[in-house]
Structure 1
Amino acid sequence: MMAVEDDKNLPRDPQAPKGRPTPKRSEAEANRKTRVTVPKDRKEANRQARDRMRTERDKQRQALLDGDERYLPVRDKGQVRRFTRDFIDSRWSAAEFFLPYAVVVLVLSIVRVPVLQLASTLLFMLFFVVVVLDFVRLGLTLRKSLAERFPNENTRGAVAYGLMRTLQMRRLRLPKPQVKRGERP
């Protein structure tokens, strides 16, 4: 253990600025030839690649359901994104009811009763304004919480990530919510 630490403290050899000597051409060629494994059968290679990709997708899907940080997609990894998900999932939001409400308004607008059509359109506009105001409130609160919790980390895109998460109904969100409503992250 001590020898490894001593090696790190020694100055680098000026003849080998990479920290190791450049390999001889014959060694480099031999290394290159032994590392490459060319499949004998193209169909078999494609099948292996498909199987490998399928297992990676299955791991990723299971991670989205369980919240396992190791296999999450890059979009969902990290402490900042986890905090954002927990922050959004712990609150009620008008935006998560937007899609079901839009379906109801669509059905009411098809009905051939002019009063219902007008009422549904006005209610939809009102609900849209409420959602926008909720977005602004939630975005400002989330931005402030991120600045307090992670002052030295990159939080770029986290607010947009959180706002897009609010548009999804809670039980359809992936990764699955890890906190209950009312709990604070």
Structure 2
Amino acid sequence: MTTANEGKNSPEKKGRPTPKRKIAEQQRVVNRLAPAATKEAKKLQKQQARILRAQQRDAYMRGDESALPPRDKGPVRKFVRNYVDSRRSIGEFFLPIIVLVLFLTLIPLVYVQFVAIALMYSALLFSGIDGFFLSRRIKHEVAARFPDAPLKGLGM
């Protein structure tokens, strides 16, 4: 009869000590897809990316068609951009109005606070109404000037 210690399932010793973590990490092979970049290479890459972004932004701000994203290219989109930029809307003044409302609500008079909140809601309402009518006017103008152009995505 055999005992439990004599069975084949008992682990055998490996014959060497367990290596220290530092040595084991050095021996481990790291499979890298790209070689490690040096500090100078990283700096150069960041500088080139910064220059490229600045050039793209400058071209975008000039209105250069080649710098625009595909959704903004074309004569119809150019007309819409120019149409929207050529007019004033209450939406342009919405943020200053909200800052004014913020300061007015700090005044401890209930009447002033009520007027400030009413001003905020009325500015929000008029901005939405103005945007709705602007969208309708844009679609009408595009349909008149570009009869074959699709109107989807031009308004709100």
Gaps of 5+ in 2: 1-33
- Paired residues for 1:101-116 under 5 Å: 101-116=97-112
CA shift at 1:61, angstroms?
1.1
Which of residues 140, 143, 146 is equivalent to 1:144?
140
| Structure ID, larger Rg | 2
Is 1:130 the counterpart of 2:126? The answer is: yes
Q: In structure 1, give the amino acid aligned to 2:51.
A: T
Per-residue CA distance 1:78-131 (angstroms, 9 max, x = gap): 322211111011112111111111111111112211110011111222222222
Change (3 A) 1:46 1:158: farther
1:98 to 87, 94, 100: 94
Q: CA RMSD in A?
A: 2.7
Identity of aligned pairs, percent?
34
Q: Could you report, residue by residue, the CA deviation over 1:117-169 in whole angstroms, capped at 9, with x for unpaired residues?
A: 01111122222222221111111001111222233234432324xxxxxxxxx
TM-score w.r.t. length of structure 2: 0.64
CA gap 1:73/1:55 in 2 versus in 1, 3 angstroms? farther
SS of 1:143's equivalent in the other structure is: helix
Which of 69, 72, 85 is the matching residue for 2:68? Answer: 72
* CA–CA separation in structure 2 for the residues paired with 1:51 and 1:81: 33
Paired position in structure 2 for 1:117: 113
TM-score normalised by structure 1 residue count: 0.56
Could you tell me how far apart the structure 2 residues matched to 1:79 and 1:125 are? 36
Q: Point out where structure 1 has 5 or more consecutive residues left out of the alignment.
A: 1-38, 161-185
User: Which structure exhibits the higher relative contact order, with contacts defined as CA atoms closer than 8 Å and separated by 6 or more residues?
Assistant: 1
